[in-house]
């Protein structure tokens, strides 16, 4: 009787995790770790065999080594006991993920839990898609009302702003920040979409799997920022290569990854961080020269490309409205060849985007110099956050820091904070993880391909955005592990039935 009660208890916890994870990720991604921690705390009293299972887990043994090295770096290198709190957050979150990944295999309603997760994912994605498509500002409105500053007490709102009033009063805010406000949430949902789609397919929910896939594509299209673009642009072809040339991939991929990890400070830090103003001026001048040439204007105007009845048009303008009503048509763009128009637009956008993202390269350049100061031991766990707090300004008035909170590259952050020893521990973890993926016994080669794709998505995203120790980012990785635990459970069940 007690065992049945515990099973129901277990199922209900995972129903809650499946129900709330995606909406929190969409609306308040910073809090995505909350359902994981709460779920693990609830399961801890009834979680049996945790220590025994961890002793057999090679990945967890590598994590223990990582924990030990991080702890030593705090005590002996950075010598800031305040960072022990950050380490504790990291440790607790990893342990919570470990408990959930282990106990998910004991649930008796995996099929229903995955339906809840898929529906929760779809509703959350539709919320973002509708908000972006019609520029409603729903998330910004909720953020305004539910911000801590709007509470008299924890349980009492000062005032509730009407949605119509908010749209009228904050129209400029909606235009400027609505799309970027979903960057983290959309990126996280797109990363979770593919394992979720595969699991639905394995559980014979093929229509649901198809809907999840189409929804994730629509979400990526409507919120296509540089992170999502590079995420898919790099991950898709490499995953396809794995699918067609698995033996070659298994032989060389890790060593390519290891080479990149070891040489990344030199590969990514080639600019001179002291010359930020020069790089910015040079790129903006090239961007302006294109605008001046093709827009017949001495004032800077942006170049836009749009499609209509399979024709490609380029226009100049200051604002980009959905109907392009504010843009001016320019005769210089009346080119017969579509390829010419595409090349003009792509060259212009390359200069424009690079001028906006050059700060990232400056960060990496500065990080390389700091890495070279302490290449073996690093500067200590979490030290990059306080490494360069001074706000500087370029000749054009752009405010910047050499390292704003973190280097926006996980490999460089490990190098910077934990040194070569941290990189070696990281590569050991990756090597063991990849071997587990390669050795997965399944008749369908699509399964390990999707897992490799998910690994690439997480790795590529972590190379261009987000801090390595950020709780919300670690939580997304943990949810990926939980989803694949669903999948492994399904594979083991099928193998048992076949035997």
Please check the confidence at residue 416 and state whether its pLDDT lies above 90: yes
Q: Residue 328 pairs with which residues in a beta bridge?
A: 316
pLDDT at 495: 44
> Judging by beta carbons within 10 Å of its beta carbon (0-12, 13-18, 19+), is residue 281 exposed, middle or buried?
middle
Among residues 410, 381, 453, 443, the alpha carbon closest in space to that of 87 is found at 381
Each residue of 33-77: pLDDT tens digit? 999 999 999 998 877 777 777 777 888 899 999 999 999 999 999
Residues contacting 14, CB < 8 A, separation 6+: 39, 100, 103, 104, 107, 113
Highest mean predicted confidence (pLDDT) among 118-132, 158-172, 323-337, 384-398? 118-132
Cβ contacts of 194 within 8 Å, gap of 6 or more:
213, 216, 450, 453, 454, 457
Percent of the chain residues topping a pLDDT of 70: 85
pLDDT of amino acid 5: 60
Q: For all residues of the chain together, what is the average pLDDT? A: 85
What's 172-213 look like in SS3? HHHHHHHHHHCHHHHHHHHHHHHHHHHHHHHCCCHHHHHHHH
User: What's the pLDDT at 287?
Assistant: 82
Q: DSSP letter for 327, please.
A: P
Choose from 109-113, 170-174, 398-402, 430-434 the range with maximum mean pLDDT: 430-434
pLDDT computed for residue 465 by the predictor: 87
pLDDT for 427-483, tens place per residue? 999 999 999 888 876 656 788 899 999 999 999 999 998 999 999 999 999 999 988
pLDDT at residue 327, rounded to an integer: 45
Strands 399-400 and 392-393 turn out to be antiparallel
62 contacts 429 by C-beta, under 8 angstroms: yes
pLDDT of 232 over the 60 cut:
yes
Q: Which residues pair with 315 in a beta bridge?
A: 304, 329
Instruction: Note the pLDDT tens digit of each residue in 185-231.
Output: 999 999 999 999 988 988 889 999 999 999 999 999 988 888 898 99
> Which of these ranges, 314-323, 358-367, 388-397, has the smallest mean pLDDT?
314-323
pLDDT of 350 reads 83
What whole-number distance in Å separates Cα of residue 319 and Cα of residue 326? 6
Asked if the model's pLDDT at residue 16 lies above 90, the reply is yes
Predicted pLDDT of residue 296: 64
* Residue-level pLDDT at 299: 63
């Amino acid at each position: 009787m007690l065992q049945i009660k515990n099973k129901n208890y277990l199922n209900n916890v995972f129903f809650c995790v499946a129900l709330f994870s995606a909406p929190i990720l969409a609306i308040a991604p910073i809090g995505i770790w909350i359902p994981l921690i709460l779920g693990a705390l609830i399961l801890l009293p009834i979680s049996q065999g945790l220590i025994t299972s961890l002793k057999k887990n090679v990945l967890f043994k590598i994590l223990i080594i990582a924990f030990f090295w991080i702890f030593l770096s705090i005590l002996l290198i950075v010598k800031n006991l305040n960072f022990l709190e950050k380490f504790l957050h990291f440790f607790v979150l990893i342990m919570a993920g470990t408990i959930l990944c282990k106990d998910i295999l004991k649930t008796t309603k995996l099929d229903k839990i995955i339906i809840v997760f898929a529906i929760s994912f779809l509703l959350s994605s539709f919320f973002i898609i509708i908000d972006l498509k019609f520029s409603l500002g729903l998330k910004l409105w909720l953020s305004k009302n539910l911000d801590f500053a709007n509470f008299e007490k924890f349980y009492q709102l000062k005032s509730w702003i009407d949605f119509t009033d908010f749209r009228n009063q904050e129209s400029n805010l909606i235009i400027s920040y609505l799309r970027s406000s979903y960057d983290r949430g959309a990126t996280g949902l797109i990363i979770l979409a593919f394992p979720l789609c595969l699991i639905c397919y394995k559980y014979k929910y093929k229509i649901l799997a198809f809907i999840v896939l189409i929804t994730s594509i629509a979400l990526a299209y409507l919120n296509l920022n540089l992170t999502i673009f590079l995420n898919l642009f790099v991950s898709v072809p490499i995953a396809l290569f794995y699918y067609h040339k698995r033996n070659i991939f298994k032989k060389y991929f890790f060593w390519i990854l290891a080479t990149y990890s070891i040489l990344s400070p030199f590969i990514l830090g080639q600019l001179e961080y002291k010359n930020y103003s020069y790089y910015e001026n040079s790129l903006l001048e090239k961007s302006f020269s294109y605008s001046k040439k093709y827009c017949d204007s001495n004032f800077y105007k942006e170049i836009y490309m749009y499609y209509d009845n399979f024709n490609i048009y380029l226009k100049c303008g200051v604002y980009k409205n959905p109907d392009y009503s504010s843009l001016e048509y320019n005769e210089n763009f009346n080119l017969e060849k579509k390829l010419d128009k595409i090349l003009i637009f792509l060259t212009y956008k390359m200069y424009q985007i690079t001028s906006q993202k050059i700060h990232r390269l400056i960060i990496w350049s500065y990080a390389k110099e700091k890495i070279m100061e302490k290449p073996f031991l690093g500067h200590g766990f979490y030290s990059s956050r306080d490494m360069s707090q001074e706000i500087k300004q370029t000749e054009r008035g752009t405010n910047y820091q050499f390292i704003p909170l973190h280097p926006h590259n996980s490999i460089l952050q490990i190098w910077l904070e934990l040194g070569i020893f941290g990189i070696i521990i990281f590569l050991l973890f990756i090597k063991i993880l990849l071997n587990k993926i390669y050795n997965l016994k399944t008749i369908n080669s699509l399964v390990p391909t999707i897992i490799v794709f998910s690994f690439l998505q997480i790795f590529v995203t972590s190379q261009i955005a987000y801090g390595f120790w950020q709780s919300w980012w670690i939580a997304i990785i943990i949810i990926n592990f939980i989803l694949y635990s669903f999948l492994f459970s399904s594979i083991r069940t099928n193998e048992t039935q076949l035997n």
